[in-house]
Amino acid sequence: MLLNDLIHPLTIGSVVLPNNLILAPMAGVTDGAFRSLCSSLGAGFCVSELVSAKGILMGSRQTLGMIDFPFQKRPFAIQLFGESPEVLGEAAAYIEERNLCDVIDINMGCPVSKIVKNGAGCALMKTPKTAKKILETVVRKVRIPVSMKCRLGWNESNINVVDFVKMAMDTGVKAITVHARTRDAGYSGLAQWKYLENLQDVCGKIPLIGNGDIATPEDIAKIHEISGCQGFMIGRGSIGRPWIFSEMIGESKGLDSKEKFGFFRRHFVETLMEHGAAGVLLFRVHLFAYLKGHPGVAAIRKQLCFESNPAVILSVGKQFFEG
């Protein structure tokens, strides 16, 4: 199948996405500035970084800042994590009342110890009854569509993605994303798409969104061929390369370096607007990814580790992109 046939609008419940290329939630990476950039470059949908449901209900200023980003392009999903059905339900209702997003996504895939030790994130794949209660409660609490993101299972000996997806299907969720790794695999090794075989059939009319190591049109064709998935979620492939979306939807056959520098500058300026002076530090992960592969990057990396002057960072970026 041609890539053009695989990229198309996608419906999540009542929400129509302009296309099925989705920016993955990535804590510390996909803040408002990066989401806005990726949307402009053709991502059909963005999901927020994972947000603590408890933090919302406790009125944590930091948490509330993560869900109320004034320039957010819609449609947009906020991803919640937690282990209590009631708390997640209340947090989702809080978000819906304020019209902060179009879809609520529930995190059932986070591998990080401090999350799973409380029974949230991927730990929910070990407690499917609680996971079911969470999804049923959130679905009941809000009118907007609810989606769920999980992994293959806890580890290689406990791959339960098919049963877990079937469980979720019974709760009324309107989309399911699967990152094709186990919790124990973290982000290492290759994503194991083979475990997603024909998984879209299990989901029926609910779109399955495939995720894990998608970075080229060939990856899209392959994961679709194996799983039948209707949506494609891109995470690390977009860091330092947000134009991956426009390239995939065929809107640009490759930007020139001047255009790339323009997007770099916009990204940096909007990061500063969003986070103030702290934005310089937060941008570092992007900065090094943008510069990756350019000659002389090792030396400049060392210098930039301690650089807090935005003007210097911009001029280094310009030099790297425009020569």
Site residues for ligand FMN per CB under 6 A: 24-29, 49-50, 79, 107, 109-110, 149, 179, 187, 211-214, 234-237
Q: Parallel, antiparallel, or unpaired for β 45-52 and 21-23?
A: parallel
Minimum distance between the CB of residue 124 and ligand FMN, rounded to whole angstroms?
12
Q: Which two tokens stand for residue 92?
A: 């989702």
For the chain, how big is the Rg over CA atoms in Å?
A: 19
* Closer to ligand FMN by Cβ: residue 149 or 260: 149
* Closer to ligand FMN by Cβ: residue 107 or 230: 107
**Number of other residues whose CB lies within 10 A of the CB of residue 241:** 17
User: What letter does residue 159 receive in the DSSP assignment?
Assistant: B
Please list the helix, strand and coil fractions of the chain in percent, rounded to the nearest 5, in that order: 50, 15, 35
Contact 131, 108 (CB under 8 A): yes
Task: Give the start-end residues of each E strand in the chain.
Answer: 10-12, 15-17, 21-23, 45-52, 76-81, 103-108, 146-150, 175-179, 208-211, 231-234
Burial of 270 (0-12, 13-18, 19+ CB in 10 A): buried
Of 125, 131, 66, 124, which Cα lies nearest the Cα of 100?
Answer: 66
Minimum distance between the CB of residue 254 and ligand FMN, rounded to whole angstroms?
21
Contact 76, 48 (CB under 8 A): yes
Minimum distance between the CB of residue 66 and ligand FMN, rounded to whole angstroms?
10
Minimum distance between the CB of residue 159 and ligand FMN, rounded to whole angstroms?
16
* Closer to ligand FMN by Cβ: residue 7 or 234: 234
Minimum distance between the CB of residue 150 and ligand FMN, rounded to whole angstroms?
9
* Closer to ligand FMN by Cβ: residue 10 or 110: 110
Catalytic residue among 38, 46, 110, 203: 110
* Closer to ligand FMN by Cβ: residue 128 or 237: 237
Q: Is 110 a catalytic residue?
A: yes
| C-alpha to C-alpha distance for 250 and 243, rounded to whole angstroms | 11
* Closer to ligand FMN by Cβ: residue 175 or 261: 175
Query: On the CB side of 144, how many CA atoms lie within 13 Å of its CA?
Result: 22
Minimum distance between the CB of residue 213 and ligand FMN, rounded to whole angstroms?
5
Q: What residues are annotated to the active site?
A: 110
